[in-house]
Homo-oligomer: A and B are copies of this chain.
Amino acid sequence: MTKGRLEAFSDGVLAIIITIMVLELKVPEGDDWQSLQPLIPKFLAYIFSFLYIGIYWNNHHHLFQAAKKINGGVLWANLHLLFWLSLMPFATEWIGETHFAKNPVTVYGFGLIMCAIAYTIMENLILKNENENSRLKNAIHSKFKEYISIAFYILGIAASFFYPYVAIGLYYVVAVIWLIPDKRIEKSLKED
């Protein structure tokens, strides 16, 4: 099964998710600088989510580039990932609108952890299809990044009940961990 259309469809959905978030930055009534002030938390939330979607696109890109073959299960695992990612604009707007209030930050963290779980499921399904000598399999055998991320999300969600900004900080740490595209895969691709 060719992976071209899965990539094209995912690119389309991710491009739309990343762009509709900007629709939440409603233009102010006036033309003075003060009128931009209420937009600041929304803008910060936008930057944060843009970064996250960018990371997912980047890693998705690396993963499927290295994948040799996909099957029906991977198609559905990918749709499952896109489902959780599609809720990011909602969560982003809620944290922006409420100035990073507790409950919205909890919901945002829940969204992030579900995306991470969905991504890990998809990765596992792809790895299962690879044969024994697969470079991809050797490249991401450790899964350290996946597990540490989920641990940080759990910590973040717990923190969100008391200190939402600490939660945002923890979510941000995960972003930094993933910011550098999967060197493991990049290296293995070069060896080809």
Contact = CB atoms under 8 A, between A and B. Distances in A.
Given A22-B89, A58-B76, A72-B181, A65 B31 contact: no
Contacts of A71: 186
Contacts of A107: 36
Interface residues of A, number: 59
Interface of A: 1-2, 5-9, 11-20, 22-23, 25, 27-28, 30-33, 36, 47, 50, 54, 57-58, 61, 65, 71-72, 75-76, 79, 82-83, 86-87, 89-90, 93-94, 97-98, 101-104, 107, 179-181, 186, 189
Interface of A is mostly: helix
Given A12-B16, A18-B13, A19-B13, A31 B76 contact: no
Contact of A19 (B16, B22, B72, B75): B16
A79 B103 contact: no
Contacts of A36: 107
A102 B11 contact: no
